[in-house]
Structure formats: C-alpha cells, structure tokens
Amino acid sequence: MSADPAPSSAYAVRRLALTAFRSYAALTLEADARPVVLVGENGAGKTNILEALSLLSPGRGLRGTALADSARRLPGEADPAGPWAVAATVEGPEGSFEIGTGLTPAPDGRLTERRAAHINGVAAPASTALSETCRVVWLTPQMDRLFLDSPGGRRRFLDRLTLSFEPGHGRAASAYEKAMRERSRLLRDGGEASWLDAVEAQMAAAGLALANARARTVERLKADLAPLTGAFPQGLIAVTGAFEETRAPGDDGEARFREALARRRRADAEAGRTGIGPHTADLAVTHVGRGRPAAECSTGEQKALLIGLVLAAARAQARADAGAAPLLLLDEIAAHLDERRRAALFDEICAIGAQAWMTGTDAALFAAMGDRGQGFCVTNGALNPI
Ligand SMILES: Nc1ncnc2c1ncn2[C@@H]1O[C@H](COP(=O)(O)OP(=O)(O)OP(=O)(O)O)[C@@H](O)[C@H]1O
Ligand SMILES: [Mg+2]
C-alpha cells in the first residue's frame, strides 16, 4: 500500500507509543495520514491499539473498563507492574500536537483512576484538554447491542458524541450528577426546603444545559443521516423521555424543570431516586426504510444503522471543525459486512477524509481499500507494515 495522503486537515495520528499498556510492554508505531488497517490473529493486540487511541479523548476509552485495567499484567499476576502511558503525535486542523496520557499512581504506588494528560509537554486536565486537542469516534462489536440494551448505553453514546462537538458537555453532566446526588442526600436526611430549592436550581440549570447540548447533537446529526451511498440505511433519531418530550420551543424549560423537581420531592424521597430529568432520557433510532424502531430490526440492519450513525457523526464533526474529520476507530468493522457494503464503507471513510483505524483477522477484507490506506500486521506484540 503506497502513499496517497488523505486531506491533511483531518485528525491523524502520525506516531503512537505505548508503555505497559495491556499486552504491550512497549510499542512505537509511525503512520501517515491515510486510514490504517490492523490485521492479526485473535488475541494479537489489535483492539488494544484502538483502545489506546480512544484514550486520546477524555473518559475510560472504548472498552469502558476501569483505567487501571489497561495496565499491563503478566500472565498469572493479579497486579500490574506499574502505570500505563500512551503518547501520540496527532496532526489536526490547528497543527501538530504531542499528546501524552497515563495513570497517576498514588504515593504508595497503587494505581488510581486519576488520569494525567500532557499537551505539548504541558500538564492539562484530561477531562477537557483532550477533547479540545483531539477528536475520536469509535464503533466496537460491544456496541452491536446498543439498540437492544438499556437506555443508559444509548445516553452514554449520545453524550460521547455530544462531548466531541462541545467539550463543555462533560462539565454540565458532572454538575448535574453532583447536584442530583446532593438532592437525594437532602431528601433522605430530611434537609431544609431552602437547601433543596438551591440544589434543585443547580440541577435545573445543569440539566437544561445537558438536554440542550444533546438536542443540538441530534440536530447536527440529522443533516448527515441521509444515506450517501445507499449502503447504509437512513436512521431517524430523537431524544425521548418525560423531560424531553414535554418541552416546547421557547418554553423556559429551566423554571419548569425546577418546579417539577419541587413537586416531586415526596415521591422521589420515597423512591430514593429522582424520577424525572435528562438522566432518564433515551436516544430513539428508527430505520426509515423499514419504518421500525431500531430494536425491531435484524442484527445486520442494526449494525448498518449504527455504522450510518457513526459516519454521520464523523461528517457532522468535520463540518463543525473546519473540515477536520475525527479519528474513526472501527473495531472488527469488516467482519459482518458484505463486499458491497465494505467497499461503500471505505469510499465513505475516504470521502469524509478520516484517518480510520480498522481491525480484522484477514487482510483480504480490506482489499477494496487499495492504496487509499496503509496496513500493519500485528504479531507477537509488534506491528509490521503490510
Ligand atoms: N491488562 C492486560 N495486560 C496484559 N495483557 C492483556 C491485558 N488486557 C488484555 N490483555 C491481552 O491482550 C491480548 C490482545 O487483546 P486484543 O483484544 O487487543 O486482541 P485482538 O487482536 O483485538 O483480538 P480479536 O481478533 O480476538 O479481537 C489478549 O490476549 C489479552 O489477554
Ligand atoms: Mg479485537
């Protein structure tokens, strides 16, 4: 596979270095801006690389496990030898950045869940600095059940997409969660009404910011959900939930949410939880062609809908970010697609201009990529160009 670089404004990892990360004691990888194909046997370490790349964005990465779980453990050892680190040179629309991230051990050497980040060598909070420096969108086989499982997974999916459009979304989400926990504590302990008023006002302000940001994400995606190639079905998306559905345009949602919370104090105290608010929302996805909710579609249709959603998110993000497509991490993406859809996926990735990182056990699945991509073979903890 030879050089034919993708548009340089997209986010592209040009160098990646892993230290004590999962199966890798140490790994250095250099790449150009084209999409990357990682081929290797089961257990070779392909997903581990995608996971490391996902940690260039805030949060717990694409496996969603505790951060300490990513630290390398030798076979048979219960404890990791030390903290992990991921370093990358990432090209983006604002130039090239050196991003470093890893776990911060406690003074006694124990691994904590505290993540450190460095941008160009300067320490920065991982929760915000990373989303401002690098944008990452992923799709993993674990997400195949997104439409079937509980709304929590779909909210997290929507929140992650929102975060990549609006780095401040994480702050609104944690302010909301914190105020909600405080309200529950006051309700449980019989706190004074004036304290409850204050904490409900905080909840309403943060909750509305949260709901508005999610609604903006859905609006942004809608424009990109029409099928370009016809290979991926058109999805219709909406945020649903008691709070979202009763909102009307121009209505002062914040005041109404505050009043609703005040009215529900007794019921919520009895239930031990807040029964209304954006933390109960859901992302409803409908297969337009079938006229059915995604959960009623076939396994293949659900996968295609999900791919369509992720590609729409990448397109929408590129539009919002001066044409710079996010990094796309597509784990085992080719395995369940027929030849026509695989070709359409590669065409779409190239049209978006994204540096997509795709994994598979068989190089033949990526043949249609041709010179538009670069390939590496993952064996024995090392990567060799194909
Ligand atoms: N914390 C850890 N320390 C050391 N090794 C780990 C750790 N976590 C996972 N591994 C190992 O990493 C190896 C590679 O895993 P990975 O999921 O990246 O494989 P893969 O190439 O994606 O395989 P598949 O094709 O089956 O998806 C596995 O053998 C797994 O046991
Ligand atoms: Mg894997």
Phi-psi category of residue 91: left, alpha or beta, with phi > 0 → left and psi -120 to 50 → alpha: beta
Measure the CA–CA gap between 115 and 71, rounded to whole angstroms.
12
Query: Which-ligand-closest: CA of 80?
Result: 1
Which ligand 1 atom is nearest residue 71's CA?
A: 1
Q: Is the CB of 44 under 6 A from ligand 1?
A: yes
Let me know: does 37 contact 385? Beta carbons within 8 Å: no
Ligand 1, from 18, 41, 47: best to mutate by most atoms within 8 Å of Cβ?
47
pLDDT the model gives residue 7: 46
Ligand closest to CA 376: 1
- How crowded is residue 366: how many other Cβ atoms within 10 Å of its Cβ? 23
Query: Has this prediction a pTM greater than 0.85?
Result: yes
CB of 73 sitting under 6 A from ligand 1: yes
Q: Hey, which residues does 12 pair with through a beta bridge?
A: 91
Q: Contact, 332 vs 360, CB < 8 A?
A: yes
Q: What is the CA radius of gyration of the chain?
A: 22
d(CA 44, CA 359): 11
3-class SS of residue 237:
strand
What pLDDT shows up at residue 249? 64
Which residues surround the ion ligand 2 when the cut-off is CB under 5 Å?
47
Cβ–Cβ under 8 Å, residues 199 and 172: no
107 C-beta neighbours (distance < 10 Å), count:
5
Contact call for residues 240 and 308 (beta carbons, < 8 A): no
Nearest CA among 350, 218, 227, 185 for reference residue 284: 218
Number of alpha helices (DSSP H) and beta strands (DSSP E) in the chain: 10, 15
- Is 17 in a helix, a strand, or coil? strand
Residue carrying structure tokens 């140490």:
26
Number of other residues whose CB lies within 10 A of the CB of residue 178: 14
For 248-257, the pLDDT digits (tens) are 666 778 888 9
- pLDDT at res. 275: 93
- Cβ pair 329, 352 in contact under 8 A: no
Q: At what angle do helices 169-189 and 193-222 cross, to 10 degrees?
A: 150
Tell me the pLDDT tens digit for each residue of 269-305: 999 999 999 999 999 999 998 999 999 999 988 999 9
Secondary structure of residue 138 in the 3-state scheme: strand
Ligand 1 atom nearest the C-alpha of 69 is 1
| Tokens describing residue 194 | 């004036």
For atom 11 of ligand 1, which residue has the closest CA?
A: 23
Ligand 1 lined by 43 (C-beta under 6 Å): yes
Give one DSSP letter per residue of 318-353, joined into a string: HHHTTT-PPEEEETT-STTS-HHHHHHHHHHHHHHT
Q: What is the pLDDT of residue 380?
A: 86
CA distance 238 to 229: 23
The pLDDT profile of the chain, 386 residues, written as one tens digit per residue, is: 444 444 458 999 999 999 999 999 999 999 999 999 999 999 999 999 999 999 999 989 999 999 999 999 988 888 887 899 999 999 998 899 999 999 988 888 888 888 999 999 999 988 778 888 899 999 999 999 999 999 999 999 999 999 888 888 988 999 999 999 999 999 999 889 999 999 999 999 999 999 999 999 999 998 888 765 678 888 899 999 877 766 666 677 888 899 999 999 999 999 999 999 999 999 999 999 899 999 999 998 899 999 999 999 999 999 888 889 999 999 999 888 899 999 999 999 999 999 999 999 999 999 999 999 999 999 988 999 99
